[in-house]
Amino acid sequence: MNEPGKRRTAMALTAITNAQIFDGEKAVGVRTVVIDGGRIARVGGDAPEGSEIVDGSGATLLPGLIDAHVHSAPGSLALALRFGVTTELEMQGMNTRENRGAITDDDTQADVRSSGFAITPPGGHPSELMPEGFRPKWDLPPVMPLMPFSTTPEEAAAFVPQLLARGSDFIKFMIDDGSVEGHPGLPTLDRATVRAGVAEAKKYGALTVAHALTVEATRTAAEAGIDGVTHVFMDQPHTAEIISLIKDAGMFVIPCITLNASMMGITGSELADDPRVAARLDADWDRTLRSSYDRYPQGKLHDVYDTVRALDTAGVDVLAGTDVSMPETFFGGLAHGASLHHELQYLVTAGLTPARALRAATATTARRFRLSDRGRIAEGLRADLLLVDGDPTSNISDTLNTRAVWRRGTRMAA
């Protein structure tokens, strides 16, 4: 038995044979993938003599999934890995480079990249989401993150190099007046402040993202030169003009349909009832998944579907993310790992093909977040892999049929 938090010993060579292979972009004709240590050594050909054989008959091999929008909690990275999510992108949290050394080398939990804390005004989003007196139930990290509260262009610009020096992998801006969360009039970044922060980030070659739940916030992000938005707007139907603005700006969009549904009062109870999910959740996460944010009941999910479909049709890069946070009912409707599979189902319901949805959780996210060592099944890349029974390129729900998960070539214990 391996001790928790320790790397399990991987055999020198492992050959996964007879599986359909989806390489992050498409299904390919080869049937064998060879792992050598923590890397993919070969795609195609015969299994090397003496290698450990994993028979993938009746299964599909995928790159490890990437959730492009999370907030970490105690145990959440381990939970994500149990669902084949091998990387999570933290859009506000403490897992910057200065704090995640142990995570990087721990193959019992998902890898992580982080913005650190987002640039927002004092009292701005997400402060309105926390109940009065609430305190997270976890230990503080070795190094406390920088709190980049900004109200002027000069302040926002000054925080950017500090965030990067402290280990933020990308810079996030909160553009939110609170109208969707039931707190209209919330302090928010003005256009000049966003533009100044983005311009400073560009000097350092840093990737920028923005929290934006409304059309106007999305417009502000696009006009400022933000690389991507971490939500799709939910306050009104899309127009051809806003879709063109997003496309012409070259932005990616992480719709987080799971979050929008929760904001509208739709729980994750149906997902929680799925035995493939229930078996992997404890009582706190089950209770959270069966709850919802319920802050924007007037929202229309079909408008969100229409917007996502229009973005995809226009050629905008759509990324799979959830906005999952901690096991608390006021962050309900979501659970780490499980909800990314739910998001894939939502993306297909919105009109993406299963293959395009799978790209959104693998190669497309890796490309847009400059993760050149993962997100695809190709020689030399990390052996972050997910083997599932069935064919998710035809039936997206098959992503939940987990047969095996590898993180850097180390197979997760059953």
DSSP assignment string, 93-109 = SS-STTT-HHHHT-TTS
pLDDT bracket for residue 2 (50, 70, 90): very low
User: What tokens appear for 299 in the block?
Assistant: 């929202």
Helix, strand or coil, per DSSP, at residue 358: helix
- Report the distance separating Cα 281 and Cα 338, nearest Å: 9
pLDDT digits (tens, 9 = 90+) for 84-97: 999 999 999 999 99
- Report the distance separating Cα 314 and Cα 191, nearest Å: 26
- First vs last C-alpha separation in the chain: 12
- Strand-pair partners of 412: none
* DSSP H helices in 293-403: 301-313, 338-350, 354-360, 363-368
Q: What is the pLDDT of residue 11?
A: 52
**Whole-number average pLDDT of the chain:** 95
Q: How far is CA 404 from CA 55, 103, 140, 273, in A?
A: 11, 21, 33, 22
Placement of tokens 């920088």 in the chain: 146
pLDDT bracket for residue 134 (50, 70, 90): confident
Q: Tell me the DSSP string of 168-186.
A: -SSEEEE---STTTT-TT-
Q: Counting Cβ atoms within 10 Å, is residue 158 exposed (0-12), middle (13-18) or buried (19+)?
A: middle
Average pLDDT value for residue range 26-38: 95
Q: Would the CA dihedral through 43, 49, 51, 53 be positive or negative?
A: positive
* Weakest mean pLDDT among 6-15, 38-47, 119-128, 353-362: 6-15
* Weakest mean pLDDT among 106-115, 117-126, 194-203, 318-327: 117-126
Average pLDDT value for residue range 389-400: 98
Q: What is the pLDDT of residue 414?
A: 67
User: What tokens appear for 26 in the block?
Assistant: 């498409």
Average pLDDT value for residue range 156-184: 96
Q: What is the pLDDT of residue 378?
A: 98
